A and B are shown apart, each in its own frame.
Chain A
Amino acid sequence: MTTDQIFVTLLLALPLSGFALTALVGRRLHTRAWMIAVPVLIATWAIAMYLVYQTLFLHAFGDEGLHFTLYKWVPAGNFSIDFNFAVDALTAVVLIVVTSIGMLVHVYSIGYMAHDPGRWRFFAYLNLFMFSMLLLVLADNFMLLFAAWELVGLSSYLLIGFWYNRKSAALAAKKAFIVNRVGDFGFALGIAAVWTTVGTLNFTTTEAGPGVFQLLPQALESGAIAPWMMTGIALLLFMGAMGKSAQFPLHVWLPDAMEGPTPVSALIHAATMVNAGVYFVARANPIFAQTPDAMSLVAAVGIFTAILAASIALTQRDIKRVLAYSTLSQLGYMFAGLGVGAFAAAIFHLMTHGFFKGLLFLGSGSVIHAVHEEQDMNKMGGLWRKIPITHWTMLIGSIAIAGIPPLAGFFSKDEILASAYKNGFQTVWTIGVIVAVMTGLYMFRLMGKTFYGESHVDPHIEPKIHESPRSMTVPLILLAIPSVLLGLVIGWPPESGLLHQWLAPVFEHATETLELHEAPFVFAGIDATLLFIGAAAAALGVSFGIWFFGLFGFTQRQVTVERLTDTFRPLYTASFHKWWFDELNDLIFVRFGGFVARALWWFDVRVVDGTVNGIAALTQSTGRGIRQIQTGHVQNYALGIAAGLLVIAITYIFVVAR
Chain B
Amino acid sequence: MIDFVSGLPILSLITFTPLAGAVLIAFLPRERLNWIRWAALGTALIAWAFSLLLLTSFDPGAAGFQFGEVADWVPAFGIQYKLGVDGISLALVVLTTTLTWISILASFGPIKERVKEYMISFLILEVGMTGVFLALDMFLFYIFWELVLIPMYLIIGIWGGANRIYATIKFVLYTLVGSLLMLVAILAMAYTYQAHTGTWVGAFDYLTLHDFGFDPTLQFFAFAAFFLAFAIKVPMFPFHTWLPDAHVEAPTAGSVILAGVLLKLGGYGLLRFAVPLFPDAAHDWAPLVIVLSLIGIVYGAIVALVQPDLKKLVAYSSVSHMGFVTLGIFVFTEQGLHGALIQMIAHGILTGGLFLLVGVIYERTHDRTIAKMGGLAGRLPVYSAILGFFVLGSLGLPGLAGFIGEFVTIIGAFDFYPWVAAIAALAMMLGAAYLLFMYQRVVFGDLSDFLKGIGHHLTDLNRTEIVTLAPLVVLATGFGVFPGLLLQLWQTPVTEFVARLVPAALAFP
Tell me, in angstroms, the Cα distance from A534 to B31 when the chains sit together.
Answer: 87
Q: Identify which of B240, B307, B437, B484 contacts A74 (C-beta below 8 A).
A: B484
Query: How many A residues have CB within 8 A of the partner chain?
Result: 57
Query: What residues of chain B lie closer than 8 Å to A164, measured between beta carbons?
Result: 377-378, 443-445
Q: A77-B491, A164-B443 are in contact. Are A72 and B484 (CB under 8 A)?
A: yes
Instruction: Report if B50 contacts A (CB, 8 A).
Output: no
In the assembled complex, the CB of A438 is this many whole angstroms from the nearest CB of chain B, namely 33
Which of B377, B407, B437, B481 lies at the interface centre, i.e. has the most chain A CB atoms within 10 A of its CB?
B407
Contact B398 A147 (CB under 8 A): yes
Tell me, in angstroms, the Cα distance from A611 to B496 when the chains sit together.
Answer: 39
Tell me, in angstroms, the Cα distance from A611 to B437 when the chains sit together.
Answer: 30
Contact B414 A178 (CB under 8 A): no
Q: Identify which of A77, A151, A157, A178 contacts B399 (C-beta below 8 A).
A: A151
Instruction: Report if A596 contacts B (CB, 8 A).
Output: yes
Query: What residues of chain B lie closer than 8 Å to A75, measured between beta carbons?
Result: 483-484, 487-488, 491
Instruction: Report if B440 contacts A (CB, 8 A).
Output: yes
**C-beta contact mask, A149-182 vs B, less than 8 Å → 1, else 0?**
0110010010001001111011101100110011
Contact B305 A79 (CB under 8 A): no
Contact A76 B335 (CB under 8 A): yes
Tell me, in angstroms, the Cα distance from A611 to B238 when the chains sit together.
Answer: 10
Contact A225 B445 (CB under 8 A): no
Contact A181 B432 (CB under 8 A): yes
Query: What residues of chain A lie closer than 8 Å to B302, measured between beta carbons?
Result: 596-597, 600
Instruction: Report if A249 contacts B (CB, 8 A).
Output: no
Contact A196 B429 (CB under 8 A): no
Contact A597 B305 (CB under 8 A): yes
Q: A77-B338, A165-B377, A189-B410 are in contact. Are A225 and B488 (CB under 8 A)?
A: no
Contact B408 A74 (CB under 8 A): yes
Tell me, in angstroms, the Cα distance from A196 to B404 when the chains sit together.
Answer: 17
Interface residues of A in 588-637 (CB under 8 A from B): 593-594, 596-598, 600-601, 604-605, 608-609, 611-612, 616
Tell me, in angstroms, the Cα distance from A112 to B421 when the chains sit together.
Answer: 45
Q: A147-B403, A154-B397, A596-B302 are in contact. Are A177 and B375 (CB under 8 A)?
A: no
User: Which chain A residue shows the least CB distance to B447?
Assistant: A165
Query: What residues of chain B lie closer than 8 Å to A616, measured between beta carbons?
Result: 173
Instruction: Report if A579 contacts B (CB, 8 A).
Output: no
Instruction: Report if B277 contacts A (CB, 8 A).
Output: no
Tell me, in angstroms, the Cα distance from A601 to B315 when the chains sit together.
Answer: 13
Q: A178-B432, A189-B414, A594-B306 are in contact. Are A161 and B444 (CB under 8 A)?
A: yes
Instruction: Report if A649 contacts B (CB, 8 A).
Output: no
User: Which chain B residue shows the least CB distance to A612?
Assistant: B241
Q: Identify which of A79, A171, A596, A611 contacts B411 (C-beta below 8 A).
A: A79
Q: Identify which of B303, B411, B412, B445 contacts A604 (C-beta below 8 A).
A: B303
Which of B241, B412, B491 lies at the interface centre, i.e. has the most chain A CB atoms within 10 A of its CB?
B241
Query: What residues of chain A lie closer than 8 Å to B446, measured between beta carbons?
Result: 165
Query: What residues of chain A lie closer than 8 Å to B418, measured between beta carbons?
Result: 189, 192-193, 196
Interface residues of A in 35-90 (CB under 8 A from B): 71-79
Query: What residues of chain A lie closer than 8 Å to B378, measured between beta carbons?
Result: 164-165
Query: What residues of chain A lie closer than 8 Å to B414, measured between beta carbons?
Result: 189, 192-193, 195-196
Query: What residues of chain B lie closer than 8 Å to A79, measured between beta carbons?
Result: 334-335, 338, 408, 411-412
Interface residues of B in 453-509 (CB under 8 A from A): 481-484, 487-488, 491, 494-495, 498, 508
Contact A73 B483 (CB under 8 A): yes
Tell me, in angstroms, the Cα distance from A44 to B407 when the chains sit together.
Answer: 31
User: Which chain B residue shows the least CB distance to A165?
Assistant: B446
Interface residues of B in 327-378 (CB under 8 A from A): 334-335, 338-339, 375, 377-378
Query: What residues of chain B lie closer than 8 Å to A248, measured between beta carbons?
Result: none
**C-beta contact mask, B212-252 vs A, less than 8 Å → 1, else 0?**
00000000000000000000000001101110000000000
Q: Identify which of B334, B375, B421, B444 contacts A192 (C-beta below 8 A).
A: B421
Instruction: Report if B187 contacts A (CB, 8 A).
Output: no
Q: A79-B338, A601-B306 are in contact. Are A608 and B407 (CB under 8 A)?
A: no
User: Which chain A residue shows the least CB distance to B439?
Assistant: A174
Query: What residues of chain B lie closer than 8 Å to A150, measured between beta carbons?
Result: 397-398, 403
Tell me, in angstroms, the Cα distance from A196 to B411 when the chains sit together.
Answer: 8
Instruction: Report if B14 contacts A (CB, 8 A).
Output: no
Q: Identify which of A71, A77, A173, A225 contacts B494 (C-beta below 8 A).
A: A77
In the assembled complex, the CB of A220 is this many whole angstroms from the nearest CB of chain B, namely 13
Q: A150-B398, A608-B238 are in contact. Are A178 and B335 (CB under 8 A)?
A: no
Query: What residues of chain B lie closer than 8 Å to A611, measured between beta carbons?
Result: 238
User: Which chain B residue shows the least CB distance to A157?
Assistant: B436
Tell me, in angstroms, the Cα distance from A16 to B495 when the chains sit together.
Answer: 36
Contact A77 B306 (CB under 8 A): no
Instruction: Report if B23 contacts A (CB, 8 A).
Output: no
Contact B241 A76 (CB under 8 A): no
Tell me, in angstroms, the Cα distance from A556 to B413 when the chains sit together.
Answer: 62
Instruction: Report if B299 contacts A (CB, 8 A).
Output: yes
In the assembled complex, the CB of B451 is this many whole angstroms from the nearest CB of chain A, namely 13
Tell me, in angstroms, the Cα distance from A177 to B397 when the chains sit together.
Answer: 11
Tell me, in angstroms, the Cα distance from A2 to B66 when the chains sit together.
Answer: 41
Instruction: Report if B422 contacts A (CB, 8 A).
Output: yes
In the assembled complex, the CB of A387 is this many whole angstroms from the nearest CB of chain B, namely 33
Tell me, in angstroms, the Cα distance from A191 to B422 when the chains sit together.
Answer: 12
Query: What residues of chain B lie closer than 8 Å to A587, measured between beta carbons?
Result: none
Contact A601 B303 (CB under 8 A): yes
Contact A174 B436 (CB under 8 A): yes
Instruction: Report if A146 contacts B (CB, 8 A).
Output: yes
Contact A165 B339 (CB under 8 A): no
In the assembled complex, the CB of B470 is this many whole angstroms from the nearest CB of chain A, namely 13
Query: What residues of chain A lie closer than 8 Å to B303, measured between beta carbons?
Result: 597, 600-601, 604
Contact A78 B334 (CB under 8 A): yes
Query: What residues of chain A lie closer than 8 Å to B65, measured between beta carbons?
Result: none
Instruction: Report if A229 contacts B (CB, 8 A).
Output: yes
Instruction: Report if A8 contacts B (CB, 8 A).
Output: no
Instruction: Report if A495 contacts B (CB, 8 A).
Output: no
Instruction: Report if A544 contacts B (CB, 8 A).
Output: no
Contact A76 B338 (CB under 8 A): yes
Tell me, in angstroms, the Cα distance from A605 to B245 when the chains sit together.
Answer: 11
Instruction: Report if B392 contacts A (CB, 8 A).
Output: yes
Instruction: Report if A13 contacts B (CB, 8 A).
Output: no
Tell me, in angstroms, the Cα distance from A616 to B171 when the chains sit together.
Answer: 13
Contact A181 B428 (CB under 8 A): yes
Interface residues of B in 261-315 (CB under 8 A from A): 299, 302-303, 305-307
Query: What residues of chain B lie closer than 8 Å to A76, measured between beta carbons?
Result: 334-335, 338-339, 408, 411, 483, 487
Query: What residues of chain B lie closer than 8 Å to A74, measured between beta carbons?
Result: 404, 408, 483-484, 487
Instruction: Report if B20 contacts A (CB, 8 A).
Output: no
Query: What residues of chain B lie closer than 8 Å to A256, measured between beta carbons?
Result: none
Contact B397 A604 (CB under 8 A): no
Q: A75-B491, A161-B444 are in contact. Are A609 and B241 (CB under 8 A)?
A: yes
Query: What residues of chain A lie closer than 8 Å to B173, measured between beta carbons?
Result: 616
Instruction: Report if A140 contacts B (CB, 8 A).
Output: no
Contact B403 A181 (CB under 8 A): no
Instruction: Report if A185 contacts B (CB, 8 A).
Output: yes
User: Which chain A residue shows the least CB distance to B304?
Assistant: A597
Tell me, in angstroms, the Cα distance from A452 to B242 when the chains sit together.
Answer: 67
Q: Identify which of A78, A173, A178, A189 contacts B422 (C-beta below 8 A).
A: A189
Tell me, in angstroms, the Cα distance from A184 to B397 when the chains sit together.
Answer: 12
User: Which chain B residue shows the least CB distance to A171?
Assistant: B440
User: Which chain B residue shows the least CB distance to A148?
Assistant: B398
Contact B440 A189 (CB under 8 A): no
Instruction: Report if B425 contacts A (CB, 8 A).
Output: yes
In the assembled complex, the CB of B13 is this many whole angstroms from the nearest CB of chain A, namely 31
Q: A165-B444, A196-B414 are in contact. Are A143 and B433 (CB under 8 A)?
A: no
Q: Known pairs A178-B432, A181-B432, A601-B306; list 6 more (Cβ under 8 Å).
A: A72-B484, A75-B487, A77-B494, A165-B446, A196-B415, A594-B305
15 contacts between A and B (CB under 8 A): A76-B334, A147-B399, A151-B397, A170-B440, A174-B440, A177-B432, A177-B436, A185-B426, A189-B425, A196-B414, A600-B302, A601-B306, A604-B241, A608-B237, A612-B174
User: Which 8 A-B residue pairings sit nearest by Cβ, starting from the closest?
Assistant: A147-B398, A192-B414, A170-B444, A609-B241, A77-B334, A76-B338, A164-B444, A597-B305
